[in-house]
Amino acid sequence: MDKTEWKILKEIADLEKTPQGAYNFRVNGQLDSRHTTANIDIVSKTDKPGIDIIVKPGTKGESVHIPVVLSMTGLTDVVYNDFYIGEGADVDIVAGCGIHNTGCETAQHDGIHVFHVGKNAKVRYVERHYGEGPGTGERVLNPRTEVYLDEGASITMEMTQIRGVDSTVRDTVAVVGAGGECIMNEKLLTDGTQHAESNMEIILDGADATGRVVSRSVAKGDSVQVFHPCMTGKAKCFGHVQCDSIIMDNAKIKSIPAIDAQDLDAQLIHEAAIGKIAGDQILKLMTLGLTEEEAEEKILEGFLE
């Protein structure tokens, strides 16, 4: 990989050099490099582009990095990645995609990820999307993630898209078994004429399952955002959906949270708020020596932390 591609890796995976542990680097639609461990195997699919990541039962303290980099204009890349997390395992998975587009054609990545998380296993999943480049071609990212949690299993998903993506449709679905837990944290910033649509659904399918969705977003310029998070309770369970957005300039935000109780003991809550930055917040920071623009940026950074 060249300097530009390593710069993108820094943005999406916080990598400045080859990581320890298991990894699979995909660059411009092709395998760049791969490493496996005694407990984590990565196997290329034979019927379609993508990989299978197999984590042995009981694996602890290990990580998997599977970033994707696009630096070619006009390229559409599609991958199908399946994760098989063994019973009692506890692992971190770092994914994400970065696009550097210098041309006039669209560069696009569609990643379809399916997680099968075994009994009492724990997964922390980090997915970051980023776009840059001086070209006029669009940078498009359309991820779809499906999660299936066995009894007592849990997953925490941190999904971030802060800069440079012109268009995205994000579909995330999780089915939670008895005693399981799914937490989805989403952070999103759009600007200019960018468009972002996020559909998130957690289905609490087993007794004492828990689900939480927390979405924070900022829409600037003439950008458009649409959120549709849904929490479905099919048993005794607890679910909470929270969507908070800051709207600026001429942007538009539509937030459509939904809760669907299909059991007498399903306890479901949803909250949604859209508003602008309070003037007194900016004034307070300006009294500390910041310009209005610096104060605004500081508030947005804190909101999206």
Predicted pLDDT at 256? 92
Give the tens place of pLDDT for each residue, 6-23. 889 888 988 878 888 999
Where do the structural domains in the chain lie, given as residue ranges? 3-277
Examine the pLDDT at 305 and tell me if it is beyond 80.
no
Give the tens place of pLDDT for each residue, 196-245. 999 999 999 999 999 999 999 999 999 999 999 999 999 999 999 999 99
For residue 97 the two structure tokens come to: 């995609």
Examine the pLDDT at 195 and tell me if it is beyond 80.
yes
